[in-house]
């Protein structure tokens, strides 16, 4: 009862209602919300703190920025459902937010214009991405997946592919440029159950096993310590959860090391299987998709009943409960 009353008291103010409606549509910073509401940053920050304390909004840090989004729960969704659909102030806020989203699109277009040739070069070397995605979906039982983690999400393509089939999805990446593109992709696909966060694949910002599916899609070849990445991915798997790795089989294209910052020129099936076994996972037979000249391999492994290799993450990045909510103790 106290929790419900606290949430209703927090929401019972016009500016805070407007903030809830905005954060239901997209992940936004204090600066962006200030632009939409036309209010001072200290005032907006105070409203946001009250909404977070009441469990109606989630907050998470990305470098020097803090993002806010509508919390996943019956209280926040219930209050949102009560809002009028044709309120003039809420409509004006949505129009102002649309301009912010258009600016995101312009930034993303500029980023792709400067970097698209890199993806085009890589795609020409292996089987089409669409074929890889189809084979990946065919081996996954997404009906049993509640929480999904995409490590090294890049442009967010794999969240877009898997997100519609799961309850919640998170993409982690170190690059803020990539995360901006990923957020735009999620907004366009209307995937409100998914988000993109800044994070380190060697020290994931989750304190306990909280995912049913973890994906490393064309990420491991960038790692200096691939075995450690797999250990960390296994750590956040729930018992019975699956870790799936998509990467290249061994090859001799040194140009990928020089032009695209690849640390490793592919992996043998046995090498990755050994890392998966050391992480306490049960390994299924790998799937090979031959291309010219690169072969894509899909590794699939399952967590046992006891979570393997429990290791602490950095204290300032720990999350508890839902993997979508940052603790407020920072």
What is the arithmetic mean of pLDDT over 67-74?
87
**Dist. CA 158–CA 185, nearest whole Å:** 11
The pair of structure tokens assigned to 211 is 């995912």
**Dist. CA 18–CA 22, nearest whole Å:** 6
The pTM score is 0.73
Give pLDDT, residue 121: 63
The pair of structure tokens assigned to 245 is 């790795």
**Dist. CA 253–CA 229, nearest whole Å:** 23
- Cβ-proximal residues to 1 (8 Å cutoff; 6+ apart), any chain: none
pLDDT at 63 over 50: yes
pLDDT at 271 over 90: yes
Report strand pairing: 296-303 vs 237-248: antiparallel
pLDDT at 9 over 80: yes
Give pLDDT, residue 310: 45
Cβ atoms within 10 A of the Cβ of 236, count?
A: 25
Give pLDDT, residue 64: 67
pLDDT at 318 over 60: no
Examine residue 261 and say whether the peptide bond preceding it is cis (omega within 30 degrees of 0): no
| pLDDT band per the 50, 70, 90 thresholds, residue 30 | very high
pLDDT at 122 over 70: no
Measure Cα distances from 327 to 74, 143, 171 in Å. Answer: 20, 29, 18
pLDDT at 42 over 90: yes
Give pLDDT, residue 308: 43
Give pLDDT, residue 115: 64
Give pLDDT, residue 111: 57
C-alpha gyration radius of the chain = 21
Give pLDDT, residue 260: 73
Give pLDDT, residue 106: 74
Give pLDDT, residue 280: 95
| pLDDT band per the 50, 70, 90 thresholds, residue 118 | low
Helices (H) and strands (E) in the chain — how many of each? 12, 11
Q: How many CA atoms lie within 13 A of 52 on its CB side?
A: 19
Lowest mean pLDDT among 40-44, 121-125, 208-212: 121-125
**Dist. CA 163–CA 167, nearest whole Å:** 8
* Identity of the highest mean pLDDT range in 32-41, 94-103, 114-123: 32-41
List, in order of start, the domains of the chain with CATH numbers. 2-95 (1.10.10.10), 125-317 (3.40.50.150)
| pLDDT band per the 50, 70, 90 thresholds, residue 171 | very high
> What tens digit of pLDDT does each residue of 197-221 get?
999 999 999 988 999 999 999 999 9
Nearest in space to 316 (alpha carbons), one of 328, 304, 303, 300: 328
Report strand pairing: 211-217 vs 194-198: unpaired
């Amino acid at each position: 009862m106290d929790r419900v009353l606290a949430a209703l008291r927090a929401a019972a103010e016009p500016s805070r209602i407007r903030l809830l409606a905005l954060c239901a549509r997209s992940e936004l910073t204090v600066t962006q919300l200030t632009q939409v509401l036309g209010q001072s940053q200290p005032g907006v920050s105070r409203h946001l703190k009250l909404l977070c304390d009441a469990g109606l909004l989630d907050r998470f840090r990305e470098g020097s920025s803090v993002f806010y989004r509508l919390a996943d729960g019956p209280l926040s969704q219930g209050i949102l459902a009560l809002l009028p659909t044709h309120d003039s102030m809420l409509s004006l806020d949505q129009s102002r937010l649309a301009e912010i989203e258009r600016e995101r699109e312009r930034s993303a277009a500029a980023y792709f214009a400067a970097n698209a040739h890199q993806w085009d070069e890589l795609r020409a070397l292996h089987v089409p991405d669409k074929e890889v995605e189809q084979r990946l979906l065919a081996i996954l039982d997404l009906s049993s997946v509640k929480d999904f983690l995409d490590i090294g999400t890049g442009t967010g393509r794999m969240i877009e592919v898997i997100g519609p089939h799961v309850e919640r999805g998170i993409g982690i990446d170190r690059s803020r440029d990539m995360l901006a593109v990923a957020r735009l992709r999620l907004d366009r696909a209307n995937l409100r159950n998914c988000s993109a966060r800044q994070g380190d694949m060697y020290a994931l910002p989750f304190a306990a096993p909280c995912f049913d599916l973890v994906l490393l899609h064309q990420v491991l070849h960038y790692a200096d310590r691939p075995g450690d990445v797999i250990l960390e991915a296994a750590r956040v798997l729930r018992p019975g959860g699956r870790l799936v790795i998509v990467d290249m089989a061994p090859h001799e294209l040194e140009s990928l090391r020089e032009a695209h910052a690849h640390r490793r020129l592919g992996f043998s099936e046995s090498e990755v299987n050994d890392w998966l076994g050391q992480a306490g996972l049960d390994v299924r037979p790998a799937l090979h998709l031959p291309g010219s000249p690169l072969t894509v391999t899909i590794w699939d492994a399952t967590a046992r009943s006891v979570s393997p290799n429990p290791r602490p993450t950095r204290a300032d990045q720990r999350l508890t409960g839902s993997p979508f909510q940052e603790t407020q103790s920072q």
